[in-house]
Amino acid sequence: MRRLEIVASGERYEIPSYARIDLVPVRAEGSHVYDFDGARYLDLYGGHAVAILGHSPARVADAIAMQARDLLFYSNIVHLPVRARAAERLCRLAPWPDAKAFFCNSGTEANETALKIARKATGRSRVVAFRGGFHGRTLGALAASGLPEYREQAALFPEDLYRFVEINASDLSAIDGTVAAVIVEPIQSMGGVRSLTRQFAHALRRRCDEVGALLVFDEVQTAPARTGHWFAGGLWDMEPHMITTAKGIAAGFPAGVVLAQGSVAQTVRTGDQGTTFGGGPLACAAIEATLLQMEEMDAPARARAIEERVRRRLRGREVLGHGGLLGVRCPAKETVKRLREEKRVLAATCPGDGTVMRLLPPLTISDAELDEGLLAIEAVLG
């Protein structure tokens, strides 16, 4: 197949749900992606925050391949050595000594599951979420998303079930004794790389404790380690009651996880939640290998170093976010397009704010690669 034929075939046979860019990757390694025609791109977008260890990291790919030969799949009615090891490694990094994990397949499924657990644990049904937030495309997670063009697709839920608040607002009266869960991204990514303040993060937790609601941090983009801490609460020395994660957790293999502190986890009863593929052997092999490599390289420290370097090199520009989830204030759509077309550098826009370009590089990016990308950004922004 030629490049043109691949594009034509995709358009002919796939439901047209995505706006696609002019890139047909056939191979990727480390921080680089290679197009069908051989052109090499520096990926500061990290395949949408997924390629946290760069593209096709050898250790993760090997772990998946070895596991596939030993036991490609068995269901959740059995204990698996690889699942037990992945769960232990993950829970040891979690902010609570009695953490427990529920494995699923994606970010949206992790959020659905966390909301379901919160409803069961509190006996309530209302959810408080935030304007500009994004939690996924399945109906429950979508209804909690505060970006209007996405949320409208979930109009089947009664308006009253979801209340929306501004992040960093001083009025938290929407969180009352009828609320099961408060779900928030510690850094709103699609919304424009808008971070919670320390004061707000603490106020949220305090308010949830006062009224008996559960605070869920949607760390689908930010955990593990992208913020410069294994989990984002580390930025502000606090912790939520539950954390959801996906994207980078298995470095590119599809996986999602809900982490809950023990007292919340123990409200879940046999049969409350389930999934066929979640916690499958391949996902768990990928999670285990990802976490091993991240611990060895001290991934949180590397994320902090990336932020420091970006802020230093782009001095004079407004840089938002933390660690390896950063926003640069600029005309984002035009800048992202020019970076790709003129400099072969990939970055992302933010659907919620056209004035912010997002950088989500692999945490394995070298200083030289990062500098190359930042020079390209400076050249395009002029």
Ligand X SMILES: Cc1ncc(COP(=O)(O)O)c(C=O)c1O
Q: Which residues in this chain contact ligand X in the complex, by CB under 6 A?
A: 106-108, 111, 134-136, 185, 189-190, 218, 220-221, 246
Smallest gap from residue 379 Cβ to ligand X (A) = 29
List residues bridging with 25 in a β-sheet: 35
Tell me if 183 sits within 8 A of 129, measured CB to CB: yes
Q: Which is nearer to ligand X, 67 or 145 (CB)?
A: 145
Residue 108 to residue 113: CA distance in whole angstroms:
9
In 321-366, where does DSSP find H-type helix? Answer: 332-338
Chain position carrying tokens 């992606």? 33
Shortest spacing between CB 341 and ligand X, in angstroms: 24
- Cα gap 318→59, rounded to integer Å: 36
Residue closer to ligand X (CB basis): 243 or 376: 243
- Residues 44, 361: contact at Cβ < 8 Å? yes
Report the residue number, 246 or 339, with the smaller CB distance to ligand X: 246
For 131-180, give the DSSP string. Answer: BT----SSHHHHHT-B-HHHHGGGTTS-GGGEEEE-TT-S--TTS-TTEE
Nearer to ligand X, 356 or 374 (CB): 356
Q: How far is the CB of 145 from ligand X (least distance, A)?
A: 8
- Reading the block at residue 28, the tokens are 């990727």
Q: Compute the least distance from the CB of residue 243 to ligand X, in Å.
A: 12
Nearer to ligand X, 31 or 189 (CB): 189
CA 354 to chain centre: 20
Task: Tell the smallest beta-carbon distance from residue 101 to ligand X (Å).
Answer: 17
- Angle at Cα 328 formed by Cα 371 and Cα 26, nearest 5°? 60
For residue 301, give the H/E element and its range. helix 299-313
Q: Where are the beta strands (DSSP E) in 21-154?
A: 25-29, 32-35, 40-43, 100-104, 126-130
Peptide bond preceding 16 in cis form (omega within 30 of 0): no
How far is C-alpha 28 from the chain's CA centre?
Answer: 21
Comparison of 30 and 186: residue with beta carbon closer to ligand X: 186
**Residue 168's closest CA among 188, 151, 148?**
188
Nearer to ligand X, 111 or 364 (CB): 111
Is residue 322 within 8 Å of residue 307, measured between CB atoms? Answer: yes
Rounded to a whole number of angstroms, the minimum distance from the CB of residue 353 to ligand X is 14
Q: What's the min distance (Å) between Cβ of 334 and ligand X? A: 23
The residue (of 31 and 108) whose beta carbon lies closer to ligand X is: 108
Cβ-based nearer residue to ligand X, 54 or 136: 136
Smallest distance from ligand X to CB 311, Å = 23
Closer CB to ligand X, 113 or 221, in the complex? 221
- Alpha carbon 254 to its chain's center: 12
Closest listed residue to residue 358, CA positions, set 218, 222, 164:
222
Q: How far is the CB of 220 from ligand X (least distance, A)?
A: 4
Which residue in the shown chain puts its C-beta closest to ligand X? 107
Secondary structure (3-state) at 181: strand
Q: Using an 8 Å Cβ cutoff, are 214 and 253 in contact? A: no
Least distance to ligand X, CB of residue 106, Å: 4
